[in-house]
Chain A
Amino acid sequence: MTLPTPTYPLLAALATVLLPFIGFLLSAIAGRRAKSGAISITAIALSVVAAGYTFANVWGGEPIHIQWRWFTIGEQAFHVGLLLDNMAVLMLLLVSIVALPVHIYSVAYMKGDPGIHRYWTFLSLFCAAMLGLVIADNLLLMYVCWEIVGFASYLLIGFWFTKDAAVQANKRAFIINRIGDIGFLIGFAILYAGFGTLDINALFGPQGLFATAAGASTAGSTVHGGLPAGWITAAGLAFFLGAMAKSAQFPLHVWLPAAMEGPTSVSSLIHAATMVAAGVFLLARIFPVFDDTVLLVIAATGTVTALIAAYFALTQFDIKKILAFSTVSQLGFMMVGIGIGLYPIALFHLATHAFFKCLLFLCAGAVIHEMQHLNDKHRLGIDPQDIRNMGGLRRYMPVTFATMLIASLALVGFPLTSGYLSKDALLVHAFEWAALHQGAAHIIPYVLAFVSVLTSFYIFRLLAKVFFGTAATPALANGQAKLHDPSAWMVGPMLFLAACSLFPLFTLHPLNDGHVWLLQGIAVSKPWPSLPLLHIVIPVGAAFATLAVAVWVWRWYVGGKYTAKTDGPLYRLSFHQGYLDGLYDRFVVGTVLRFAGVLRWLDTYVVDGLVHGLTTLGRSLASAAGWVDQRIVDGLVRLFGKLAWGVGNVVRRTQTGRLQGYFASLFLVILVILLYHIIVQA
């Protein structure tokens, strides 16, 4: 095998991944001295530059693929390499460019934390793993990075490991992600069994096994390569299980709200571009593997997730929990994008969502930060994340309010924001897809439209409770305490992300998603005709619905016109997040514990019993052998000894030293011999 010539974009891509990794190593070596985070920030900043260079050179051009032999098992060689196509460089840039503001923000947000050196170390590892994941050219390497991402997130969620809730949360995240990892593992094991390669380009590329096989055979009962269609479906479902856990799809989403126990800056990174994006990216990367069945499952799961998460978000009081459920809901939207076959739309929504969700978390972090200060200063003993304790913060924190407003508008898909472009594109295409499929497929777009309304409600409720109205905290209300916008280290990244959440980053046509450069770069042909009417009706309808909800929420929470019935079953179901935790505790955890109890019983009584029985048997055999040894073998030896002693003892008496005695015995002996001869010969 000849080594391909490394070119500058390749080296730059490599640098993008390796720089944060080196940052991780240096921080880890420096230990407690790496408090400032200068290493990590420099690494990620250089990484952004390298990613930008790679992007500029690869985007729109020919994909670059390079690989080296990694190891060989028997006849099978495994390769390690980079695959730089439009999708990879887009994610490369997105991840690094979202990670940079988070790093900068962390300088101020995490200041004074006793474990901050660990924070920088883990953060660099997290970014390096995610960047490695997006440019990996085969599923094995991708899996390795996938695992590191999971592990780094585990470390970061449990960053405040002295808090029991944080420990529970990171354990939960880790365990649920393990479930997904098994899916991923099974998925690529099936593919490897069928095709003997894990190379993404060879499997899913334009000339890959899937593309040619699908073209050659008839649709429906397609037989890809060496695998029957059933196995392909199984592999697709297995991969989707992996993505479900990583991208927090119902019912495996429970780790994401729990992950709010980590630092807010980590949450923003997890929710924007690194952790949860991995699942969506994986599905987009291996998209050809999915057949119609799996796509339908994906779309349905995404819809259910979007609906349920938005529903749970309605009644939460923890500012971060609301945003967490919002992320789960938006990930559901992306899954629908994958499920209807338009993964570019899903990736587009992923990209826009990365910016505004990251911004939402950073703003929430700023608010929490200030509330925490207020809490500490006046010893209020309130939960700094509870939105019931906030209110009227708009006057104290205008910049935070403005940026959060932009991010919220982007989230609800208001015109002029990036979210408008991606979300409405998703909705429109979902309607078109439903029109093609007819029947029950219509449920999906209508549910999504309804979820959009719910989204508007919960995010405007959040804004109203936090920034409008009167302060619920007395110290704030009577003017004793003053809150203010955070320092420039935090405001800077927020402003940058706010700019990225507006339309000009993606297209110069603010109301039309047809000219988005991002979609043109990774476009796939739509298998159905466009319905032009929908492209007008849906955005307009959505915008008006958003406005109506905004007004309604304003009257509700600011005007105080309505009160929520907090004792209805629907409210309680939402507030307790569908009682899923209890269900999991009872059925999954309980089952596992019972199973463990049975195993323990087996271990104690059967395995140990067997061992103990063998021990007893051995001991009794040994004591029997000991008895034989002591009594019989030794007894025989002792018997001979005693015999010799006794004979000697008797015989020695004859040696009296008296001549006459000797003579007598001599005579007797001769007499005996004589008599013997006489008697015998007679």
Chain B
Amino acid sequence: MITLTHFLVVGACLFSIGLYAVMARRNAIMVLVGIELMINAAILNLVAFGRYDTEHYGGQAFALFAIVLAAASVAVALAIILNVYKHHKTINPEDINQLKD
């Protein structure tokens, strides 16, 4: 029997892997992948909790919205990364510290 706890553990694992990717990867694309993993962990949680809302299926509805938003944000982020690469000739987040000032 697969219980809610199993979903949550899988979501937490996904989140943690995404978090690690965001914090540790030296490649902006991989950071972006990490972000997607974290978003998907959240979506998984939404769907898992959505089982308790059998009347409106609010969880599933929000999950769909979130997937669309994630796709849109990936598009924007990829565009930013491309521009950053044009500007700095690198996409290593370690080397980009212009946000300092």
Q: Give Cα A664 to B23, complex, Å.
A: 7
Q: Is the CB of B93 within 8 A of A659?
A: yes
Residue-wise interface mask of B (40-66) relative to A, using a CB-CB cutoff of 8 A (1 in contact, 0 not): 000000000000000000000000000
Size band of the interface chain A makes with B: 10 to 19
Q: Is the CB of B19 within 8 A of A667?
A: yes
The answer to whether residues A657 and B93 also contact, given A663-B22, A663-B23, A664-B23 and a CB cut-off of 8 A, is no
Cβ of B5 < 8 Å from any Cβ of A? no
The answer to whether residues A658 and B94 also contact, given A663-B23, A664-B23 and a CB cut-off of 8 A, is yes
Partner of A657, one of B19, B22, B31, B99: B99
Q: Give Cα A514 to B55, complex, Å.
A: 164
Cβ of B100 < 8 Å from any Cβ of A? yes
Cβ of A655 < 8 Å from any Cβ of B? yes
Q: Which residues of B contact A659 (CB under 8 A)?
A: 31, 93, 96, 99
Q: Is the CB of A660 within 8 A of B22?
A: yes
In the complex formed, the residue of B with least CB distance to A662 is B99
In the complex formed, the residue of B with least CB distance to A655 is B100
Partner of A658, one of B19, B22, B24, B97: B97
Q: Which residues of A contact B19 (CB under 8 A)?
A: 667
Within 8 A of A (CB), among B1-41: 19, 22-24, 31
Cβ of A649 < 8 Å from any Cβ of B? no
Q: Give Cα A656 to B99, complex, Å.
A: 8
Q: Is the CB of A656 within 8 A of B93?
A: no
Min Cβ gap A126→B in Å is 99
Q: Which residues of A contact B97 (CB under 8 A)?
A: 656-658
Min Cβ gap A661→B in Å is 9
Pick the most buried of B24, B93, B98, B101: most chain A CB atoms within 10 A of its CB.
B93
Q: Give Cα A267 to B24, complex, Å.
A: 125
Q: Which residues of A contact B101 (CB under 8 A)?
A: 657
Q: Which residues of B contact A663 (CB under 8 A)?
A: 22-23
Residue-wise interface mask of B (59-101) relative to A, using a CB-CB cutoff of 8 A (1 in contact, 0 not): 0000000000000000000000000000000000110111111
Residue-wise interface mask of A (649-676) relative to B, using a CB-CB cutoff of 8 A (1 in contact, 0 not): 0000001111110111001000000000
Q: Is the CB of A656 within 8 A of B100?
A: yes
Q: Which residues of B contact A664 (CB under 8 A)?
A: 23
Q: Give Cα A577 to B23, complex, Å.
A: 125
Q: Give Cα A325 to B68, complex, Å.
A: 142
Min Cβ gap A658→B in Å is 5
Q: Which residues of B contact A655 (CB under 8 A)?
A: 100
Q: Which residues of B contact A656 (CB under 8 A)?
A: 97, 100
What are some 20 contacts across the A-B interface (CB < 8 A)? A655-B100, A656-B100, A657-B96, A657-B97, A657-B99, A657-B100, A658-B93, A658-B96, A658-B97, A658-B99, A659-B31, A659-B99, A660-B22, A660-B23, A660-B31, A662-B99, A663-B22, A663-B23, A667-B19, A667-B23
In order of increasing CB-CB distance, the 3 nearest A-B pairs are A657-B100, A657-B97, A657-B99
B: residues with CB less than 8 A from A are: 19, 22-24, 31, 93-94, 96-101
A: residues with CB less than 8 A from B are: 655-660, 662-664, 667
Having A657-B101, A660-B23, one finds 7 other A-B pairs with CB under 8 Å, namely A656-B100, A657-B96, A657-B99, A658-B94, A658-B99, A660-B31, A667-B23
